[in-house]
Amino acid sequence: MRTAPPSAPQHAPARPPEEPGAAQPPAPRAAWWETTDRLRAAATTEPGRLRIIGAALALLVVAFGAVTAWEITDRHTAAGDVVSRSQPLSADAANIYRSLADADTAAASGFLAGAQEPAEVQKRYRDDIATASGLLITAATHTDSESESGRQIRTLNEGLPRYTGLVERARANNRQGLPLGGAYLRYANEQMTKELLPAAEKLYAAETDRLARDNDAARLWPFVSLAVGVVALGVLVWAQRRNYRRTNRVFNHGLLAATAGATVLLLWLAAGQSVARAELDNAQKQGQESLKVLNDARINSLKARANENLTLVARGAVLTADGKHDKYETDYATGMDKLSTALGEARKLADNSAGGRPVDEAISAVTQWRERHKSVSETDRSGDYGTAVDKVIGGDGSTGQSFDRVDEALGAAVAQEQKEFKDSASDGRGALTGLATGAGVLALVAAVGAILGMGRRLSEYR
């Protein structure tokens, strides 16, 4: 029996060595190169070009809507801050200053009344301190403790108890007929004028600066949105013109809808921001500027009243730096001059009778106050101290009555300007309401229209 010869070992034939200089196989190309090649090839055919144009149009209008929603949301938020945060905090800061200054005035008036301080004066002092304390709590809850406003709030919270303690000591000594009471009251007034009121003034300035920043942010033109919108609209018009030249068809319903959506959004954006800017400008110029001048006037009237009272409390014990004049009488005259100047500016800024009438009343009351104060000074110099005090803190015919007229008129003027500011700022915010949502909806409509319009053209090639 014959057997098969053993099979030779099976090995893969060895590849011959490559000769030097032989051609190498091409290296694999990157995926993005292949995509580029496909796009380039597609661009050489009309269906491919239509797909690219449709995708570009959809991306442009979606980008237009997204950028518009982003910028308008930012403007609307800033306008909302103006209405509901910045301006109320600025007004609260002004009221903190007014309450503290009025409390100081009430303390001096009560001291002049003698041991039996009138109940209404005590109530006014307590109400002022309670108002200032409450407003400080509100301001602290809306303010960063490390900011300028936070630091001033901390100064006020630390200093106010010391001030009220000094006033109570002055009252206690005054009830016992001790002259030390006048010293305590002057010390309390010094703390008020050198520590508390400057801190309140800085707080007001910081909050007013924040209001100005929020107002500027709300008024800023949405340049990016407008630019993208113009580009998107221009490309849509170009695409329709190209479609007309190639097909001789006047309208493409999809592209027409996309153009309409982009046009409406662009016009809404421009009109809404224009109205918002106009209303916020009006709030700033007619409202906030008037409020600042009126608050300055109110502050100067309170300072003048406090100095008028302290003139009789000190009875010449405190002189100016040159040692020639009564310090409190000099400060009173300075405050009244500033008050008259501020009222003149406020009258110029008043743009209607509702705002001008209370300012006119305040001007009339200031004139009366000056005349009555001259009578007080003459009576005091003649040595009739008791009558002079009655002319300052008494009822009819007193400088206190004139001061109350000034304060009441300025309060009415501030309330009117506050209302005008809020109305204008609210209208400015309202002009932007709904625009961000509308931008998203219109952009989606325009994108769908562009895709359908191009799809209709592509269907002609199938």
Is the pLDDT confidence value at 106 over 80?
yes
Q: How far apart, in Å, are the Cα atoms of 146 and each of 142, 152, 433? A: 12, 10, 33
Percent pLDDT > 90 in the chain is: 39
Cβ–Cβ under 8 Å, residues 151 and 198: no
> DSSP state, 284?
I
Cα(441)–Cα(447) distance, rounded to whole angstroms? 10
pTM, two decimals, is 0.77
Quick one: pLDDT at residue 255? 86
With CA atoms as reference, report the closest residue to 355 among 417, 297, 289: 417
Cα(267)–Cα(204) distance, rounded to whole angstroms? 39
Cβ–Cβ under 8 Å, residues 301 and 259: no
Q: How far apart, in Å, are the Cα atoms of 94 and each of 67, 97, 412, 442, 456? A: 38, 5, 15, 44, 65
In whole angstroms, what separates CA 404 from the centre of its chain? Answer: 32
Cβ–Cβ under 8 Å, residues 72 and 421: no
Choice between 249 and 441, residue whose per-residue pLDDT is larger: 441
Cα(170)–Cα(115) distance, rounded to whole angstroms? 11
In whole angstroms, what separates CA 198 from the centre of its chain? Answer: 22
Strand partners, 326: 319
Task: Among 41-50, 138-147, 264-273, 411-420, name the one with the lowest average pLDDT.
Answer: 41-50
Is the pLDDT confidence value at 217 over 50?
yes
With CA atoms as reference, report the closest residue to 222 among 73, 381, 409: 73
Is the pLDDT confidence value at 460 over 90?
no
Tokens describing residue 58: 């959809």
Within the chain, what is the greatest distance between any pair of CA atoms? 163
Residue 157, class by beta-carbon neighbours within 10 Å (0-12 exposed, 13-18 middle, 19+ buried)?
A: middle
Quick one: pLDDT at residue 394? 78
- 367 pLDDT tier (thresholds 50, 70, 90): very high
State pLDDT tens for residues 133-180.
999 999 998 888 888 999 999 999 999 999 999 999 998 888 888 878
CB atoms within 10 A of CB 398: 18
Tokens describing residue 176: 């016992």
